[in-house]
Amino acid sequence: MTPLVDCHSHLAPYDDDAVAAMLTRAAAAGVGWVVCAGVDLPSSERAVALAERCPGLLAAVGLHPTHLRGDEGVAELRALAALAQAPRVVALSEVGLDGVEARAPLATQRHIFAELLRLAADADLPVIYHDRAAGDDALALLVAEGLAERAVRHYFVGGPAEAAPALAAGVCLSLGKPLAKADAAYDPLREVARCARLDRLLLETDTYPLPGRTTEPADARQVAGALAALRGLAVADVAAATTATFARLAGARWTALQSWRRRYRAMRLRS
């Protein structure tokens, strides 16, 4: 089976031993790649550092809208842009807009999001973005910057009406564990998962430390199973499709990583 990709997690807050254990369990579950997203400059730096020494881990760098202070300046954006050039960085994330929990006003968030989208374009990276109660602003900015077709709406839990504008613009949707919950509140989400083009769907766990929460990257296999059942497919079919979509979005970075992985495996076999 093609290795699954957990395209969005937050492993930076965990210690090195916990990260290594989660990656081992992920590999055993068929999750071959885990993307660790930053939420600010320090966590983005740690994501890059972790990815450099953990073979199954990839990094994404970003400034999460709920972590924005509102006074982010040129120096901080330049530091993030430098991090984005690291070879194991495969996306700009987590970035976006939040109309519920963010301290910075939406006008400030829009300005910084636009700056970050230009950074993504300059670095030739896809954008995995957060969009919560911000109207159509995030999608409008992605379209304006010509990045909608290299964008992923992270942890999508809405129904067909909410999905339609993003899908029409070329955006992919990333699905998490709610897809597998028996709760009828997620029936609209299951309708999206059943009917959307398979090559526009990705898998994630959004792993992060939270009291009482047990989610980890290995659970991407559970999400893949739920998606496969909804569409009458084998998990291997979902793995092939979703990993191919992530590869397309990551572009040259993914191609380079596959070459590196082949060399790494050959070196291990010789040792």
Spatial contact of 95 and 62, defined as CB atoms under 8 Å apart: yes
Amino acid (one-letter) located at 52: E
CA distance 245 to 248: 5
Cα 242 from chain centre: 12
Amino acid (one-letter) located at 182: A
Amino acid (one-letter) located at 96: G
The pLDDT tens digits along the chain (271 residues) read 999 999 999 999 999 999 999 999 999 999 999 999 999 999 999 999 999 999 899 999 999 999 999 888 899 999 999 999 999 999 999 999 999 999 999 999 999 999 999 999 999 999 999 999 998 999 999 999 999 999 999 999 999 999 999 999 999 999 999 999 999 999 999 999 999 999 999 999 999 999 988 999 999 999 999 999 999 999 999 999 999 999 999 999 999 888 766 665 665 656 6
CATH, residue 133 = 3.20.20.140
Give the 3-state secondary structure percentages of the chain, helix then strand then coil, rounded to 5.
55, 15, 30
User: Where in the sequence is the domain holding 197, given as residue range(s)?
Assistant: 4-270
Spatial contact of 1 and 228, defined as CB atoms under 8 Å apart: no
Distance, first Cα to last Cα, the chain: 26
What is the model's pTM? 0.95
* Beta carbons within 8 Å of 92's beta carbon, 6+ residues apart: 60, 61, 62, 84, 116, 117, 119, 120, 123, 125, 126, 127, 128
Q: 188-216: buried (b, 16+ CB within 10 Å) or exposed (e) per residue?
A: bbbebbeebebebbbbbbbbeeeeeeebb
Q: Which alpha helices (DSSP H) does 29-105 contain, by range?
A: 41-53, 74-83
For the purposes of burial, counting CB atoms within 10 Å of the CB of 39, is it exposed (0-12), middle (13-18) or buried (19 or more)? buried
Query: E-strand spans in the chain?
Result: 4-9, 31-37, 57-61, 89-98, 127-132, 151-153, 172-175, 201-203
Number of domains composing the chain: 1
